[in-house]
Every structure is written in C-alpha cells, then in structure tokens.
C-alpha cells in the first residue's frame, strides 16, 4: 500500500471514530453542555460547542496517550 492509500485509510478510520463519538455523545448531552454557544435571532442560528470540543479533545488525548506510549 502506498503512502496516499495509508493517509486515506487513516482519515477514513478517524472520521468513522469521530462520527461514533458524536452519535454516542448525543445520548449523554454532548453538544448541550453549559458553555456551548447557541445564538438564534430570527432566521439566523449560530452554534459553537466549545465546551464539548474541549471535553472531546481531553478524552482523545488521554486515550491516545494510553495506547501510543509503551
């Protein structure tokens, strides 16, 4: 497998894992945490899940540190 194939496979797996995290996270209130920014004015809606993003980042950092370090 050439390097482009490995990169595409890695991105595909990462997107799949990210999608699963989002689906499972919705059941636990991820995206609706205090600190997530939600603004709705008329027909304009802005949503930025900053606290949820930080939480996902921390969890992924911990998991990757457990699996990568030997």
Q: Give the Cα separation of 33 and 50 in Å (integer).
A: 9
pTM of the predicted model as reported, rounded to 2 decimal places: 0.59
* Token pair recorded at residue 8: 């595409």
- Burial string for 26-43 (b: 16+ CB within 10 Å, else e) reads eeeebeebeebeeeeeee
* Token pair recorded at residue 36: 């997530």
pLDDT value, residue 1: 59
pLDDT value, residue 41: 95
The domain containing residue 38 runs over which residues?
3-68
Question: What is the number of domains present in the chain?
Answer: 1
What would the pLDDT profile of 3-62 be if each residue is shown by its tens digit? 888 888 888 888 898 788 778 878 887 778 888 898 999 999 999 888 888 988 898 888
């Amino acid at each position: 497998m050439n390097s482009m194939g490995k990169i595409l496979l890695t991105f595909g797996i990462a997107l799949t894992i990210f999608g699963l995290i989002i689906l499972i996270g919705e059941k636990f209130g991820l995206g609706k945490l205090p600190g997530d920014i939600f603004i709705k004015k008329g027909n304009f809606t802005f949503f930025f899940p900053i606290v949820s993003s930080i939480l996902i980042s921390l969890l992924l950092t911990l998991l990757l540190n457990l699996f990568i370090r030997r």
